[in-house]
């Protein structure tokens, strides 16, 4: 049995998914969002993220974590803030000796749907099948965290 954490990072919203792998089966233990106040200064957001990550590590004690890489640059300030948020998460995971695997959004789509250009809805539908859910996971950022957790469950670092 392994506990896997998947993270779709951000500064105002960060999605987390925790799954359990038992043999070939994976089950969702939890997925949720951590929200910070949009107009809050970055240092306060990072403190909130720090506290939340410490709580997640303490509660779930994950064996491995998958996290989305920063892939494109639309807005430099946003990109830098998200990079700082990711660094905060990665630092705490590394301090807890939790192995980290990073994926670009395109890699996640390819692993889940077999298509680099898959739409968010296609990823959600694939996850519905993978996790044997009654409906697609929503919103789509939650699906991203669940997808990252699932492909991390296939990682050689977990073996």
| 52 assigned to active site | no
Strands 2-8 and 25-35: unpaired
Mean of the pLDDT values across residues 139-147? 88
Contact between residue 5 and residue 150 where contact means Cβ atoms under 8 Å apart: no
Backbone φ and ψ of 24, nearest 5°: -95, -10
| 8 assigned to active site | yes
| 68 assigned to active site | yes
What pLDDT, on a 0 to 100 scale, did the predictor assign at position 40? Answer: 86
Beta strand segments in the chain, E: 2-8, 13-22, 25-35, 64-68, 100-103
What token pair was written down for 76?
């430099």
* pTM for this model (two decimals): 0.91
Interhelix angle 140-153/105-113, nearest 10 degrees: 70
- Edge-to-edge strand list for the sheet holding 64-68: 25-35, 13-22, 2-8, 64-68, 100-103
User: In CATH, what number is assigned to the domain containing residue 103?
Assistant: 3.30.420.10
Catalytic residue among 8, 52, 63, 144: 8
Q: Which residue segment(s) compose the domain that 16 sits in?
A: 2-158
Q: What is the DSSP-derived secondary structure letter of residue 23?
A: T
Catalytic residue among 35, 51, 63, 68: 68
For CA atoms 105, 109, 111, 114, give the dihedral sign: negative
What pLDDT, on a 0 to 100 scale, did the predictor assign at position 51? Answer: 93
Indicate the pLDDT class of residue 147, thresholds 50, 70 and 90.
very high
Distances (CA, A) of 123 to 6, 20, 87, 90, 120: 15, 20, 26, 25, 5
pLDDT single digits (tens) 81-109: 888 889 999 999 999 999 999 999 999 99
Total number of domains in the chain:
1
Which residues make Cβ contacts (< 8 Å) with residue 50, sequence separation at least 6? 88, 92
């Amino acid at each position: 049995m392994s506990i896997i954490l998947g993270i779709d990072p951000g500064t105002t919203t960060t999605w987390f998914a925790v799954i359990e792998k038992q043999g070939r089966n994976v089950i969702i233990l939890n997925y949720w969002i951590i929200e910070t106040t949009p107009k809050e200064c970055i240092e306060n957001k990072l403190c909130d993220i720090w506290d939340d990550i410490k709580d997640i590590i303490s509660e779930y004690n994950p064996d491995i974590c998958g996290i989305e890489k920063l892939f494109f640059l639309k807005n430099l300030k946003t990109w830098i803030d998200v990079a700082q948020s990711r660094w905060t998460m990665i630092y705490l995971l590394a301090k807890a000796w939790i192995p980290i695997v990073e994926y670009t959004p395109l890699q996640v789509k390819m692993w889940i749907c077999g298509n680099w250009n898959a739409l968010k809805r296609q990823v959600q539908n694939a996850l519905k099948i993978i996790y044997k859910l009654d409906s697609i996971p929503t919103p789509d950022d939650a699906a991203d965290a669940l997808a990252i957790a699932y492909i991390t469950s296939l990682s050689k670092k977990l073996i």
